[in-house]
Structure formats: C-alpha cells, structure tokens
Amino acid sequence: MNNAVTADYKLTVASDKAGTRLDSFIAEHTPLSRSAAQGLLPENKITVNGKCVSKSCKLKAGDIIEVFLPEAELCEAVPEDIPLDIVYEDDDVVVINKPQGMVVHPAPGHERGTLVNAVMFHCKDSLSDINGVIRPGIVHRIDRDTSGLLIVAKNNEAHLALAAQLEDHSLSRVYKTILCGRLKGDGTVDAPIGRHKTDRKKMAISPDGRRAVTHYKQICELEGGFCLAEMRLETGRTHQIRVHMAHIGHPVLGDPVYGRPTQFEKKHPSLFMGQCLHAGELTFRHPRDGREVTVTAPLPENFKRILTLLGYEQ
C-alpha cells in the first residue's frame, strides 16, 4: 500500500547510527516524537528497506527508512478562549510567553485549559498538523511548571523549517534559573537522558538515553547558598535542564521532582508553583525569508520576588 504513494520522509542510516532503535532514529531526524513514530508502526506507515518492522528494530548502516504520514484528522482538542501573552506573530509563526502551571497540549487529566486549546482559538484553522490531532502547531515543548517562550508553527512548511533548526541546534533557547548551591565557573553537561528505570514519570541520566547537552554559566551568587544562572540548550530532551543540574549537584530551586524542599521554600511556600526556571530568550531563522528573529520575555513576578528576597538587586 505504501508503495503507491510517495513517502513524506525518506532517510538513509549513516554508519555512525548503526544499532540505533528505529523509533529513536525517526525522532532524531524528523519532527515526529518517538511516541508518534511508535503510533505509526502498527499502521504500516513506516518501512525499513520496504518492509514493515517493530519499534525496537535495530538499524544497520545503509538501511532506507520511509515514513508515510496519515491524512490529517480533525483535531480532537477543543478551542478555548484563554488569554495568551503573545510576544511575536506573523503569518507563519506565533511565539507565546507561557505562564507557569499551563500544560502545553492535552493529555489524560489535562484535556482542557492547555496552550493548544488557547492557540486553536487564537489561530483558528492556521496551525500545522504534522504532530497530529493533539499537538497542532507544536514544534517544541516546555514543562508545565516552567514559564517562558514557546514557538508555534501556523503551517507545515514553517513547522518543518523550525524542526530542522532544532535538529541542527541553530534555534537558540536561553533560560534563567535559580540553582541550589553555587557553580564553579561556566561549563557544559553532556550526559544522555532517558526514562527513569523505575519511575516512568521521571527522566534520568542513562547510557541508553538520547544525547543531551546543556551549557551553563553563573550570573551571580545569591544569599542563602543559591545562585542565579543562565542555561543554553543545545538539545531539547524532556526535563533536560532539571535533570542535568540535579546530576551535577545543583538542582533547580523549587523543583519538586529532582530536588528537595529547601528551608527557603518552606518559609515562602506561596511564591512557589514549581521550579524557578524561565525560558526568557528565543532566537530562530524565520522559516519564510531566513532572517534572524530574537524574542525575549521578562521573568514572572514570583521569580522576581524570590530573587529580591535572596538579595538580588534588579
């Protein structure tokens, strides 16, 4: 059946990718996530050398992978009139400053009130459909309790162009965070991240995980043994900054998953709605004309209040 139509993606496995799982390879070389790739396999929408295989198929050098995307379905998410803090918009993209606590796309337990619901209302029918019926327009994500900038594609051409920038690391994402402890100079964490072996809701450093690279630098020391730091993502794995900083002994302040409650958090519980992590700067090449676009978003008020209490002069 797939031979009657042209593949949406046709990929050749390089020698250095031999042994990679099929779903991981597709996630690395297309805008599709691993779960999206896994969902296409039972429908015979992915072939290796013309044959249907399982998600755990280990690839060999020279293998030819073809991916056939299904016809776009009507989106199951419901448009909702939810206010959005839009910092940039044109016919191809919209960049939103997501508040802390907002889920990006519908999921069990979070079917309504998500950023996708709000974007669908705002953009009407102008959203890419590459990531399926639950994630229209979504090129990348940030955690529910992380605030800051997220770019949404209004059409498939923009989506593919932005996804390519994520893959070649030319789409720059800069975060501000408060860390427990103080960093010793600038540095880089290059450690693979995968699903936690026993707690499937967590991520962890894992030799079987996907490569993850975070560049960090300390902006200043804060009172109480904390520091304000800047993070630059080279890759974009789930919970990447939070996992990497906890791995080097400096968890993000307020992180309920990878850190431990500090005395400061116990003293000021009303200021914490999750981790002190804010995606404050985003730079990308515009998908239509290639010009460089940089957008910024100020720190949330609770983040600024925490900094003030920790002696930071703003």
CATH number at residue 244: 3.30.2350.10
Confidence (pLDDT) at 37: 80
In a domain, 297, yes or no: yes
Q: In this structure, how many other beta carbons lie within 10 angstroms of the beta carbon of residue 219?
A: 14
What was the pLDDT predicted at 49?
Answer: 92
The CATH number assigned to the domain holding 29 equals 3.10.290.10
**Number of structural domains in the chain:** 3
Task: Give me the DSSP letters along 27-75.
Answer: HHHSS--HHHHHHHGGGT-EEETTEE--TTPBP-TT-EEEE-PPPPPPP
Q: Do 220 and 266 share a domain, yes or no?
A: yes
* 84 close to 122: Cβ distance less than 8 angstroms: yes
Burial 120-141 (b: 16+ CB within 10 A, else e): bebbeebbbbbbbebbbbbbbb
Instruction: Tell me what pLDDT residue 254 has.
Output: 97
In a domain, 177, yes or no: yes
Is-above-0.85 flag for pTM? no
pLDDT (0 to 100) of residue 1: 44
Per residue in 22-66, pLDDT tens?
988 888 888 777 777 877 887 788 999 988 887 778 999 999 999
Q: Which domain holds residue 275?
A: 172-309
**Which of these is catalytic: 129, 143, 145, 255?**
143
Q: Retrieve residue 243's tokens.
A: 């996992």
Helix (H) or strand (E) segment spanning residue 135: none
Helices (H), 73-168: 115-123, 156-167
pLDDT of residue 77: 77
Residue 16 annotated among the catalytic residues of the structure: no
| Any domain includes 165 | no
Q: Looking at the domain assignment, is residue 299 inside a domain?
A: yes
Q: Are 116 and 127 in contact (CB under 8 A)?
A: no
Could you say which residues of the chain have pLDDT below 70? Answer: 1-5, 70-76, 108, 131-134
CB 214 within 8 A of CB 232: yes
- The rounded distance, in Å, linking the Cα atoms of 308 and 314 is 7
8 Å CB contact between 107 and 68: no
